[in-house]
Structure 1
Amino acid sequence: MVIILAVVAAVPLANYIATSTSRTLFLSRSNDADWFATMAESPLQSGDIANLRELAVRYHELYNTPVFVVDVDRRVVATSRSGVEVNEPDLKVALDSTLAGRLPAEPPALFPWRTGEMVVARPVVNNGRVLGAAVLRVPTEKARDQVQSGLLLLLGGLLISIGAIVIGIVRPITRWVLRPLNDLDNATHQITRGALDTRVSTDGRAPELRRLGDSFNSMALSLHQARQREREFVADASHQLRTPLTSARIHIEGLSRLSPTARFALSDIDRLGRIVQRLSRLAGSDRPGADADSNEAPLDLAQAVKERLVGWKAVYAADDMELVIGEMVPGGVAPELEVDDILDVLLDNASKYGAPPVEVSVTRDGTEVVLSVRDHGLGLGSRDLKKVGERFWRSAHHREMPGTGLGLAIVRSEAARVGGRVAARPPIGGGLVIEVRVPLIDDYDA
């Protein structure tokens, strides 16, 4: 619509520019033609046309405009150049009108695509009797160039006006129309970050957008309720398990004095207690740094790993598996990081799903301390690597083996509690590397 209105306004403006330029040229040359008609009156009566021919030549040289004078019989009596054909269509029309005592009509507007000269004729009159006509053949190249420049300026002005209208009116309207979709996009990003209580407004919107907003809100509510039920289930299960586990531990502690076998049962009870604790923490930690407020001294990750590896070396040796302790670079991390739980999951997975040798190392990478566990098994495909750490996810190669798919999810949750993350990658030479990357505490004194 804006473009149509601009075109409608441009057409008369373009015609005005061309008509005005043409009229200005016609009037200025008409004055010159009138002067020649006055000067030709006496020579046409006397027949002495030498001076008249000289005037025509001088005018032609000065203004680059050919001039000629004809008598009433259309014979050329004086001209600034030879070869004048009075029967040319434009000249014939002008002479017919002029020799009949009428002023010729104004020529058409000079648009850039039109060519040719402008014919300006004036009658030579004496006492009301027409003696002949003075005719100028006016070049129009400069006038057409002026019109072209004016049209280009007009076009530029129209483009600027359309741009200003688009920026000033259309763009705000577009923003207003798309605002509901932007709100929906922002809400979707909030949902993906874990803010499941995010909702979008559906008031005062188009019916289609209102239905889309209602559907989004229903989806978000379902996700929120599912997450709440999951938390409640894990919390209730953890609470219900703590009491019988505590009671069982008390009884087994008494039996452990009488039977060495009971000590193994006591170890399993402790392991169940740690599992319950991890499940409870997994359900409650949805954002990084949730438990990160602590006044305790930083924990040396390398030292904590070496201490835990003492027991695991015996476990691996009993299964005839090689456990290699690699580089151990000291690095302070948040004291609440559950290093034992993380290392237990990674080494248990490596022993079940990987192949020896299994290498454990602690290094620094910029502002992070990296705990790496590498095995030499089959590894994972590129798609599976992206899913490592998702709850209840298991690789297609390992689904027949015992497990719940929660081990690496617990590791990821533990790392996230202190602002860390878990990464998986295929190393050179095959196998799989699981990296737990946690922030380095700068003021740690090794």
Structure 2
Amino acid sequence: MQETYVDRLNDVGRFASLAETALSTGRTEALHQELARYHELYGIPVAAIDTSGTVLLGPAGAYREAARAEPALPRIVTAALAGARSEPSWEWAPWDDSALVVAEPVGRDSEVVGAVVTISDLSKTRYRILVRWAQLAGLGLLPLIALVAVAWPVSAWVLRPVRELDAASSRISQGDLTIRADAEAGPVELRRLAESFNTMMDAVENAVQRQRAFVSDASHQLRNPLTSLRLAVESLEPHLRAAGDGRQLYDVAVDELKAMQRMLNSLQASARMESIRTASPVDLDAVLATRVDRWRALTATAGQTLAVDVPPGLRLLEPPGGLGSILDELISNALRLSDAQVVEVTARVVPGGAGPGHGSTSAAGQGDASAAEYGDVSAAGHRDVSAAGHRDVSAAGHRDVSAAAGVVTIAVRDDGQGLDASERAQAPRRFWRSPRHQNVPGTGLGLAICADLVGAAGGELRLEEGLPRPDGSGYGFAAVVALPIAPRGASPSGAPAPSPV
């Protein structure tokens, strides 16, 4: 653009010199023809004007037509007639549409008799500038494209082990200790990191397995001597005198032996449940269909009322070992320990997850927590702690279902004694039992196992205030199980699982 301006400046300088001579001698024909040929050749109107602005030489029509479209022309011409060389307007950006006006005075100082003016259309020049800019931009993009083409696979090669390590960590946080990172891909530093990670996980898995094996083996090995001891104590019954302290001591010994047997059963079930970490989808209707009638019979026998309010068609992720066994334990607690008149089972869908309710204490996902005082691992006394875990609860892919899609909350509430806030805070502990229930058969492990299984399915077990007591003195107890909604396309879990609790 500056080159164009310099060329026009040289042209009008030459024409101004010729015009001064022609006007002073009166020989203007040759200059007039040269200005006309210049316009025909370059398409640029050029004219010699007097101090009043009248065209003296050159294509007057083309000049006047071009002059009407240039608002800056009077200012530039006035400066030239005053004897000053015009300065460019600098409005030359490719997106502008103004022409280049250049004026040169004819004469010097106070003897200026006119000016030579050119009006140049810059559309072609601006187009060439745009083309040049595009070429430069293209040349600048080529190295960038080449850099991206090289950096993309390199970064993918570097980051792939990091993503795999992150995925492995996520699976491990869900309880799958068998996951290992790929130690054969990626840079040397990441391979060493993956090897260290795998070594650490080997040590963790071995430690956990040894711990579980110890608990399971110890509880199993103690069964036989404990059974022999119980038989030996019970064999003393015919030799007891009706009167005296012997009968009372005998009853205490038998009760303690039964409690120890329940404790061993609970420990063995807990160890087995901790080895199961996968969940599967299940229809809540199918679970309740096999249990509601039995619950009604149990509550009727205990002189209580069971109310079930569960909408049809709910589908959720079933915890390892079976959802029905967890509900059995919660119903059992309400029947045995609450001294309630009404037991209520409800289910609701909560979009986007569920937070703790009013007066609630979360007891989910804690590996060593969540045994409320409602802790006997049995179903209303009809079921001891069974050897759970005989079924491979697969469909591990469903473990990644996000609670952001919603959860199903299943609440078992009663209007009985309940727990106050401080007791609910202590309840998520193994073997913890309320002082009111020290003489009630139980181990304090039932809800611990339930909470661990619910947490393994990506859910939560919460302890809350229950139904209002009939006398208005407070609230009963409520255990709320929140589990992720299962996608409709998921296959149902197979046969019912043995009872884990």
Checking the alignment, whether the CA contact within 8 Å between 1:68 and 1:78 is kept in structure 2 is yes
> How far did residue 231 of structure 1 move?
1.0
Which of these residues, 450, 466, 489, is aligned with residue 411 of structure 1? 450
Match of 1:104 in 2: none
Match of 2:479 in 1: 434
> How far did residue 237 of structure 1 move?
1.2
> How far did residue 327 of structure 1 move?
1.1
**Structure 2 Cα separation of the partners of residues 190 and 443 of structure 1:** 26
Question: Does residue 274 of structure 1 match 2:257?
Answer: no
> How far did residue 271 of structure 1 move?
4.3
Question: Does residue 224 of structure 1 match 2:205?
Answer: yes
Show CA shifts across 1:389-413 (max 9, x none): 6x74979x99xx9998744222235
Which of these residues, 118, 124, 142, is aligned with residue 137 of structure 1? 118
Question: Does residue 198 of structure 1 match 2:179?
Answer: yes
Checking the alignment, whether the CA contact within 8 Å between 1:411 and 1:422 is kept in structure 2 is no
Checking the alignment, whether the CA contact within 8 Å between 1:200 and 1:213 is kept in structure 2 is yes
**Structure 2 Cα separation of the partners of residues 166 and 177 of structure 1:** 16
Change (3 A) 1:394 1:182: farther
Match of 1:169 in 2: 150
Match of 2:388 in 1: none
SS of the residue 1:337 aligns to: helix
**Structure 1 Cα separation of the partners of residues 308 and 117 of structure 2:** 103
Instruction: Return 424-433 or 300-309, whichever deviates more.
Output: 424-433
Gaps of 5+ in 1: 1-17, 70-75, 92-109, 122-133, 315-323
Change (3 A) 1:152 1:180: same
Checking the alignment, whether the CA contact within 8 Å between 1:289 and 1:416 is kept in structure 2 is no
Gaps of 5+ in 2: 50-54, 64-76, 105-114, 241-246, 350-406, 469-474, 487-491, 497-501
SS of the residue 1:360 aligns to: strand
**Structure 2 Cα separation of the partners of residues 149 and 358 of structure 1:** 87
Change (3 A) 1:242 1:67: same
Show CA shifts across 1:179-234 (max 9, x none): 23212211111211222132224456556545543443343233212211211111
> How far did residue 303 of structure 1 move?
3.3
**Structure 2 Cα separation of the partners of residues 251 and 170 of structure 1:** 78
TM-score (norm 1): 0.55
**Structure 2 Cα separation of the partners of residues 230 and 345 of structure 1:** 29
- Equivalence map 1:324-339=2 (5 Å): 325-328=305-308, 337=325
Tell me which structure has the larger Cα radius of gyration.
Answer: 1
Change (3 A) 1:55 1:347: farther
Checking the alignment, whether the CA contact within 8 Å between 2:299 and 2:335 is kept in structure 1 is no
**Structure 2 Cα separation of the partners of residues 299 and 249 of structure 1:** 39
SS of the residue 2:421 aligns to: coil
Change (3 A) 1:230 1:370: same
- Equivalence map 1:239-388=2 (5 Å): 239-255=220-236, 262=250, 265-266=253-254, 268-285=256-273, 286-288=276-278, 300-309=290-299, 325-328=305-308, 337=325, 341-344=329-332, 360-365=343-348, 370=410, 372-374=412-414, 376-379=418-421
- Equivalence map 1:100-179=2 (5 Å): 117=100, 137-139=118-120, 141-143=122-124, 145-147=126-128, 149-150=130-131, 153-154=134-135, 157=138, 164-165=145-146, 168-179=149-160
Show CA shifts across 1:406-437 (max 9, x none): 442222356689x7965215458877521347
SS of the residue 2:325 aligns to: coil
Show CA shifts across 1:20-65 (max 9, x none): xx67x999x99x99xx99x99xx89995535854885898799462
Checking the alignment, whether the CA contact within 8 Å between 1:328 and 1:361 is kept in structure 2 is yes
Change (3 A) 1:252 1:339: farther
TM-score (norm 2): 0.50
Checking the alignment, whether the CA contact within 8 Å between 2:165 and 2:181 is kept in structure 1 is yes
Show CA shifts across 1:59-93 (max 9, x none): 87994622349xxxxxx9845578766975589xx
Question: Does residue 49 of structure 1 match 2:88?
Answer: no
**Structure 1 Cα separation of the partners of residues 422 and 494 of structure 2:** 34
Change (3 A) 1:329 1:302: farther
Show CA shifts across 1:235-289 (max 9, x none): 1111122102322343344445676755665455444333322321221222246
Say how many residue pairs are matched. Answer: 361
**Structure 1 Cα separation of the partners of residues 431 and 192 of structure 2:** 34
**Structure 2 Cα separation of the partners of residues 421 and 258 of structure 1:** 54
Question: Aligned partner of 2:449: which letter?
Answer: I
**Structure 2 Cα separation of the partners of residues 365 and 306 of structure 1:** 21
Quick one: higher RCO (CA 8 Å, sep 6+), 1 or 2? 2
> How far did residue 157 of structure 1 move?
4.2
Which of these residues, 42, 45, 52, is aligned with residue 65 of structure 1? 45
